[in-house]
A and B are shown apart, each in its own frame.
Chain A
Amino acid sequence: MLFNSYKFIFIFFPCVAFIYYLIGKFNSYYSSIWLSIASLFFYYIFSNNDIYILIFSILLNYSIRQYIYSNRGLLIIAVIINLGLLSYFKYLNLILNTFNYSGTINVVLPIGISFFTFTQIAFLVDSYYTKIEKIGVLDYILFVTYFPHLIAGPIIHHGSMMPQFKKPDVSFKIVNFNIGITIFIIGLSKKLLIADPLSKYADFIFLNSDSVNVISAWVGVLAYTFQIYFDFSGYCDMAIGISKILNINLPINFDSPYKAKNIIDFWRRWHITLSSFLRDYLYIPMGGGKKGKSRKYFNLIITMLLGGIWHGSNWNFLLWGGLHGLYLYVNHSYTYLISNNSIEKKYFYVILISKFSWLITFISVVFSWVLFRAATVDDALNVYSGMLGLKGVVIPESLNKILPNFLENYFNFGQIFLESKLLPNTLSLFEATFLIGLSIYIVLCGKNSNMVPNIYNDLINKTIKKSRTEIIYPLTIGIVFSLSLLSLSKNSPFLYFQF
Chain B
Amino acid sequence: MNNKYLNNLLISTLLSTLLIVIINFIIDPIGIFNKINITNLNDDKYYIREHEGFFKAQLAINTRPSTIILGTSRAEFGINPVIFNKIFDHNVNAINLATSYQSYEESFLLAIAANRNGSLKEILFGLDYFVSGNQSFKPPGRGVENYAPEAKIAYLASLSTFNNSIKTIYKSSKNVPRCTEYDSFNISNGHRCFPTVKKSTAELFFENEQAYAYYIYKKNSLSSFDLEYYKRLLEYGYANHINIELFISPAHARQWVLLYHCGLWDDWQNWKKELVSINESVAYSYNAKPFNIWDFSGFNNITTETVPAQGSNELMKWYYESSHYKYITGDLIIDTIYNNTNYLDFGLKINNKNIISHLYFVNKGLLNWREINKVNDIELARICKK
Contacts and interface: CB of A to CB of B under 8 A. Distances in A.
B88 interface: no
Contacts, number: 80
A175 B2 CA distance: 7
Given A473-B5, A486-B17, A486-B20, A478 B10 contact: yes
Interface of A: 174-175, 177-178, 181-182, 193, 415, 419, 459-460, 469-471, 473-479, 481-483, 485-487, 489
Interface string B138-161: 000000000000000010011110
B11 interface: yes
Given A474-B4, A475-B8, 12 more contacts: A178-B9, A459-B5, A477-B12, A478-B10, A479-B12, A479-B16, A481-B9, A481-B13, A482-B16, A485-B157, A486-B157, A486-B158
9 contacts: A177-B6, A178-B2, A474-B4, A474-B6, A474-B8, A478-B10, A478-B15, A479-B12, A485-B157
A469 B160 CA distance: 31
B271 interface: no
B17 A489 contact: no
Interface in B306-345: none
- Name the residue in B3, B8, B13, B15 with the highest tally of chain A Cβ atoms < 10 Å from its Cβ: B13
A415 B180 CA distance: 15
Main secondary structure of the interface of A (DSSP, over half): helix
A103 B185 CA distance: 51
B2 A174 contact: yes
B9 A478 contact: yes
Contacts of B8: 470-471, 474-475, 478
Interface string B1-36: 111111111111111110010000000000000000
B12 A482 contact: yes
Contacts of A470: 1, 4-5, 8
Give the top 9 A-B pairs by smallest Cβ distance, nearest first. A478-B12, A474-B8, A482-B16, A474-B9, A486-B159, A478-B13, A475-B12, A174-B2, A487-B159
Q: Which size class do B's interface residues fall under?
A: 20 to 34
Contacts of A486: 17, 20, 157-159, 162
Contacts of A181: 6, 9
Contacts of B10: 478
A419 B10 CA distance: 37
B181 interface: yes
A174 B181 contact: no
A444 to B, nearest CB: 25
Contacts of B157: 485-486
Contacts of A487: 158-160
A415 B167 CA distance: 11
A11 B20 CA distance: 24
B174 interface: yes
A470 B8 CA distance: 7
B99 to A, nearest CB: 18
A286 B3 CA distance: 52
Interface string B152-190: 001001111010000000000010100001000000000
Contacts of B162: 486
Contacts of B7: 474
- Name the residue in B1, B15, B154, B181 with the highest tally of chain A Cβ atoms < 10 Å from its Cβ: B1
Contact of A460 (B1, B9, B17): B1
B6 A482 contact: no
Nearest to A182: B9
Contacts of B159: 193, 483, 486-487
Contacts of B174: 415
A479 B159 CA distance: 12
Nearest to A419: B181
A219 B162 CA distance: 25
A403 to B, nearest CB: 17
A398 to B, nearest CB: 9
A181 B8 CA distance: 13
Contacts of A175: 2
A269 to B, nearest CB: 29
B16 A489 contact: no
Nearest to B167: A418
Nearest to B182: A419
A339 B159 CA distance: 53
A478 B2 contact: no
A476 B11 CA distance: 11
A145 B176 CA distance: 56
A475 B6 CA distance: 10
A474 B8 CA distance: 6
Contact of A469 (B5, B6, B15): B5
B1 A478 contact: no
A473 B12 CA distance: 10
- Name the residue in B2, B3, B7, B14 with the highest tally of chain A Cβ atoms < 10 Å from its Cβ: B2
A482 B5 CA distance: 16
B158 A459 contact: no
A419 B174 CA distance: 14
B13 A482 contact: yes
A195 to B, nearest CB: 14
A177 B9 CA distance: 12
A482 B3 CA distance: 19
B5 A485 contact: no
Given A181-B9, A477-B9, A483 B16 contact: yes
B2 A489 contact: no
